[in-house]
Structure 1
Amino acid sequence: MGAPRRAAFVEESAEVEVLYANLEKMKSLTKKIQASMGRLETSGKTVQEAIGPIYGNTQKLQTTNTNIDRIIQAIDRIREPLDMRNKEERILKDGPRQAGLAEYMASIDRTRQALRDLKHSNLRSNQQTISELNGLLRVGNQRLEDVFREILQKNNQKVEPLHYITKNLEFPRLSQDQASQLRTINAHVASSTAELAQADPRWTPTAKIYGDIRGQYLTSSLETMAAACVATAKRTRNDAPYKRRDNAIEMYTQGIRAMYTAEYDNICPIFSRDEWGTVLKLTCQSSLNAFASTLRDLDKQIRENLTLDCFLAYEIVDVVSKTSFYIEERTGNLKYEISDAMKPVRETAKSSLSYLITDIRTKAQQMLQLPGDGSSVPLTPEVMTRLQMMVDYLSPLSSIMTSLGDGNWTQSSKSSSTTSIPTMKSFDVGADGRQLFAHYATDTIETLLQNLDSRSRAVLKGKSLQGVFLANNIAVIDRMIRSSDLQPILGSLGPKIEVWRKKAAGLYLDSWKEASVILLDVQYTNRTPRPPSTGQAPDSAAILKQLSGKDKDQIKEKFKNFNVLFDELVARHKSFRMEKEVRTGLAKEVQSFINALYVRFWDRYHEVDKGKGKYVKYDKGQLNAVLASLG
């Protein structure tokens, strides 16, 4: 047992010694490594100190190179506009004909873009170049404007509107190619103008050019129609009222309507949507001024002959208003401008309503004499003819009366309502429009009859003559209503006419009252009581027997007086000049008034002359025949 253990210890001891020996070697190696690391660290510091400056200089050189490259690029950019300007200057100064319109506009686009870039750079060194490019862009714009002008002037020969209207032809318009060229030029000029910021903010230079050239075309083309309106308004007959279409105003407004809408069709493809209305107004301004001047001339002539030419004023209001509505519907513009041009005539048309009623009073009161035969006066058919003619102008009159207000036409024009622009609703002649006119016509007729009545009382002697005069004028009024388009409008006037007719009949019958008084005998009951009524004719002989001689003499005198007065009244009746319906109507009034009284008187006392006819001139049948002959 002892020997094996010793051997084991010896072996382990030897391994320990080996480990110690290796440990010593590791320590020695570690020292050597530490010594080497120390030397390496020292060497690294030396290298870093040597290489550091070289590395730093290299970075600085790289930064410098980058900056130099940027400076070179900036110099190139600065030189680029100058080089570009020289190139574009040659193109722009050559003009669009030599360079070609497409290339010319491309050059303007490049110039405009370069100018925009330079302005954004804010480099002081670029200010001179910016100024030069501004000048170059102005030159380019002017050349484009010249081309724009030339294209328009090729199509600026004036036309004769009447030719196109009468033949129902479309007015000439710019071709599609021309519109395309003008649109492209306008777009470039508008952009360049915005860059230069020198244009009138209301419109671009091309819009001004378009308005001037095409405006001259419109004005010159329409001037013959304007002259025709003034010429046809001059009166050749001072006693005849104006008749519809005797003046050229309707043709003139048709020409304006057609030419303005044609011009709007030209404008839309050339200019942007927000410019359409502005350019149209600019283009039409000159011709609208001429139109307004023409209407002022017409208004002056209308006011000089208002009672006859008021219908021309109504026609102008009618056709001009319809024209303004049509153009406004087609273009969305010019309604107010056209309405302003019409304003003087519309005011005259409004004032005419009160003027015409006042004129009736004036003319009636100026009648120093009236017909001695009771016939109607010319004033009555004159007034009624005027009302008949007014029916043809219900549309404008409806608008005018609506703006005045119901009944305000009896006031002076100064107190009327302020002017308002007519609307389509005010031209809608419905129940309201017809009712307003009916009220006006009624006021007119009432004014006429009242003044004729008052004048006849002052001038004519005798109520019967006054009654015949009034009845004749009423008959003319009634007949002219029934025989015209006034009838359906003035249907409600019947009761008022009937009141006047009864008044006239009452005046006429006043002279027959004297004859009726004669026939109103006294019932003689002093001797015997009055016999009861049996419905049969009384016994004339029996009645006369009861009367005294004096009473019989009074009866005889009554018959004689009645005969004389009756013959005078019949003769006077036949001497009057009566309208057919007046003669018939008054004869019936007399017959119903006198016949019954005479029949009663004759039945009672005709035996007073025992059929000899010395006192009783007419029997019942004879008197009735005479009365019937009055009609």
Structure 2
Amino acid sequence: MAPPRKGALAEESAEVEVLFAGMEKSKDLAKKIRASLNRLETSGKTVQESIGPILGNTQRLQTTNANIERIIDAIDRLRAPLDQTNREERIIRAGPRKTNLQDYIASLDRTTMALSDLKRTNLRSNQQAASDLGALLKLGAKQLEDVFRDILREGSLKTVEPLEYVAKQNPFPVLSQDKLSTLRSINIHVSKSFAQLSQTDVSTTPTQRIFADIRGDFLMSSLRNLAAASVSTARKVSADAIYQRGANGIGIYAQGMEGLFLAEYENICPIFAREEWGVVYTATCQNALKEFGNTLRDLNGHVQKNLTTDCFLGYEIVEIVSNLSVRLETKTGELKRPIYDSMKPIRETSKTSLGKLLEDTRARVQTLVALPMDAASVPVTTETMTRLQTMTNYLLPLSSLMTSLGDGGWSAASANASSSSLPTMKSFDVGADGKKLFAHYASDTIDTLLQNLETKARVLLKGKNLQGVFIANNVAIVDRMIRSSDLQALMGSYASKIDGWRKKGTAMYLEAWREPSGYLLDVQYTNRSGRPHSGGAGSTDSAAIVKGLSSKDKDAIKEKFKSFNAALEDLATRHKGYKMEREVKAQLQKEVQGIIEPLYGRFWERYHEIDKGKGKYVRYDKAALGQLLASLG
């Protein structure tokens, strides 16, 4: 036995010797009692006087004997833990690898109980023994921690390739039930020992730290390839190429992270107590989430550099990461805040992009130095509408972004305002409100486009007919691309604005046709007798009307026919030289025919005999004019 224990036993022996000295005094007292009895027998007179002392001495003797017996029992109890310690010390120092783990843990349990008993006695003589037991328990706990660490390392040697599990939709691997059971047993006893031996108020146990370190490195290493792939797939092959949904590896990265995190949660729950799950889970995923945040920052930098084409990557990331945070929070109750925080930079960039895209549309029109002289539409119209069509694929994140900005808050200034609110399921509900907000944004974009195109056309294109065709062509592109995409369902209310723009373009074009129309308006001389009244089908006699004209009037009619022919042919030639969208050409031809044909028909019926069929002035009959006007379509 160790020297300190000999000292403890010597102290206890001294206490026993004191008790024996007390017993010797009791023997002397007994002799005195017997002497008193003898005196009582010889002298009855002293009986009454002797009974009192005898009774008192007897009671004191009984109390003393009872105390002695209790002290002896206490000594036996004090010696029992010490004797037991000798047995447990051999098991504990041998280590858990040289004995059955359950037997080893049971030995630690017995040692822990012995230490508790020693502490309850609160005797100074037991302080050294308690210190020895504490050191022994620390040794045992350290050895169990090493076993805990070795089991985890064994299960974490080979990293997982998440892409294989995601592609095949297979469940991610977890630790075996045997390992989980062993780890659970070790954690329970290490936690109890830590709580008893710890001198400070530290809530994190050694097994929690070991698990978080080893499995945290495992998660981070397993996800490293997906992080690198997400950055590499963001690199652009063509500078002006618009990002296509799913082209970046961030979706696979998020799926792989979710699968690994949920599998790790399944490992944690059987090992640790319910109140420990959140702490261990968060600590284990911390490093992997940090690398995820670094990847998102890299992607955010890429989006900022290519905002007008790759803003859609930002929207996709917002959708993917927001949904990931909500799903993990639903299934584990954890990680929503750190995942959402990692997304904040790219979310702010995505909000800013809404105002930047409007500014880009305006700037691209304003910087045009020339417009097509054939009135063809400009590429910015198709590109702007393609951008809006593409945005309909991201209604979920756009609904969240626009809701945080507020209706109309997508101007460049408003878009810089940040919002730190966490996403909720309602944030991603593309219901009436989400669709309404997007419809308003799309309307603002189209209004910005068409208003700036009109302004630019008035400056760069000569003649309202050319300006009108240009406006009509671009409006036709807008209308067609709305109708042929999901924009149709979202922008039904914009039809009236489209119609207004279409009418504006048509009216501008028809300005040029006022000239030939004016030549077909003649003066009615209602105060002249014998002059047939204009109107009345079947009552017009061109020969009679022409015969009744003065030479001056005849010359005026001839000049009108001549001027009309020249203006008509010039406008028809220019019309055919314009590049029109098919619906624009049909619309404008219909409008021109609806105006010119009735006027000319009436004028021709009255005055076609002005050159007696020679065709010098009256170049077109009604049928020929109809054919010419029809050819405009």
Same fold (TM over 0.5): yes
- Provide the residue aligned with 2:603 in structure 1: 601
Query: Which 5+ residue runs of structure 2 have no aligned equivalent?
Result: 1-39
- Provide the residue aligned with 2:66 in structure 1: 66
Q: Distance in 2 between matches of 1:41 and 1:94?
A: 72
Counterpart amino acid of 1:72? Answer: I
Counterpart amino acid of 1:357? Answer: L
1:250 and 1:319 in contact (8 A); partners too? yes
Distance 1:619 1:200, change over 3 A: farther
Task: Report whether the alignment pairs 1:620 with 2:622.
Answer: yes
Cα displacement string for residues 79-123 of structure 1 (whole angstroms, at most 9, x for unaligned residues)? 444444444333322211123322221222222223323333332
Q: Which moved more, 1:102-111 or 1:122-131?
A: 122-131
- Provide the residue aligned with 2:143 in structure 1: 143
Q: Distance in 2 between matches of 1:253 and 1:200?
A: 37
- Provide the residue aligned with 2:273 in structure 1: 272
Distance 1:200 1:385, change over 3 A: farther
Distance 1:296 1:105, change over 3 A: same
Cα displacement string for residues 486-511 of structure 1 (whole angstroms, at most 9, x for unaligned residues)? 22222222111111000000111111
How far apart are residue 525 of structure 1 and its match?
Answer: 4.8
Q: Which moved more, 1:317-326 or 1:611-620?
A: 317-326
1:595 and 1:623 in contact (8 A); partners too? yes
- Provide the residue aligned with 1:408 in structure 2: 409
TM-score by length of 1: 0.89
Q: Which moved more, 1:529-538 or 1:111-120?
A: 529-538
Q: State the aligned residue count.
A: 592
Q: Distance in 2 between matches of 1:426 and 1:340?
A: 16
Q: Which moved more, 1:425-434 or 1:554-563?
A: 425-434
Cα displacement string for residues 557-597 of structure 1 (whole angstroms, at most 9, x for unaligned residues)? 11111111111111100110011111111111111121122
- Provide the residue aligned with 1:334 in structure 2: 335
Query: Which 5+ residue runs of structure 1 have no aligned equivalent?
Result: 1-39
How far apart are residue 449 of structure 1 and its match?
Answer: 1.0
1:527 and 1:546 in contact (8 A); partners too? no
Counterpart amino acid of 1:302? Answer: V
- Provide the residue aligned with 1:540 in structure 2: 542
Cα displacement string for residues 523-551 of structure 1 (whole angstroms, at most 9, x for unaligned residues)? 24564375333233522222223322122
- Provide the residue aligned with 2:13 in structure 1: none
1:474 and 1:500 in contact (8 A); partners too? yes
Q: How does 1:557-596 map to 2 (within 5 A)?
A: 557-596=559-598
Cα displacement string for residues 301-335 of structure 1 (whole angstroms, at most 9, x for unaligned residues)? 01111111111111112222222222122112112
- Provide the residue aligned with 1:105 in structure 2: 105
How far apart are residue 403 of structure 1 and its match?
Answer: 2.0
Cα displacement string for residues 233-290 of structure 1 (whole angstroms, at most 9, x for unaligned residues)? 1111112111111111111111111111111111111111111111111111111111
How far apart are residue 56 of structure 1 and its match?
Answer: 5.0
Task: Report whether the alignment pairs 1:121 with 2:109.
Answer: no
Q: How does 1:275-290 map to 2 (within 5 A)?
A: 275-290=276-291
Q: Which moved more, 1:314-323 or 1:300-309?
A: 314-323
1:350 and 1:413 in contact (8 A); partners too? no
How far apart are residue 365 of structure 1 and its match?
Answer: 0.6
CA-based RMSD of the aligned residues comes to 2.2
Q: How does 1:348-497 map to 2 (within 5 A)?
A: 348-414=349-415, 416=417, 418-497=419-498
SS state of the match for residue 409, structure 1?
A: coil
Q: How does 1:18-417 map to 2 (within 5 A)?
A: 43-47=43-47, 57-156=57-156, 157-198=158-199, 201-414=202-415, 416=417
Q: Distance in 1 between matches of 2:273 and 2:252?
A: 32
Distance 1:515 1:367, change over 3 A: same
1:471 and 1:505 in contact (8 A); partners too? yes
How far apart are residue 609 of structure 1 and its match?
Answer: 1.3
TM-score by length of 2: 0.89
Cα displacement string for residues 14-42 of structure 1 (whole angstroms, at most 9, x for unaligned residues)? xxxxxxxxxxxxxxxxxxxxxxxxxx999
Cα displacement string for residues 117-174 of structure 1 (whole angstroms, at most 9, x for unaligned residues)? 3333332333333333332222221111111111111110211011111122211111
Distance 1:116 1:562, change over 3 A: same
Cα displacement string for residues 417-442 of structure 1 (whole angstroms, at most 9, x for unaligned residues)? 62322211222222322222222222
SS state of the match for residue 233, structure 1?
A: coil
Distance 1:115 1:380, change over 3 A: same
SS state of the match for residue 624, structure 1?
A: helix
- Provide the residue aligned with 2:28 in structure 1: none
2:352 and 2:412 in contact (8 A); partners too? no
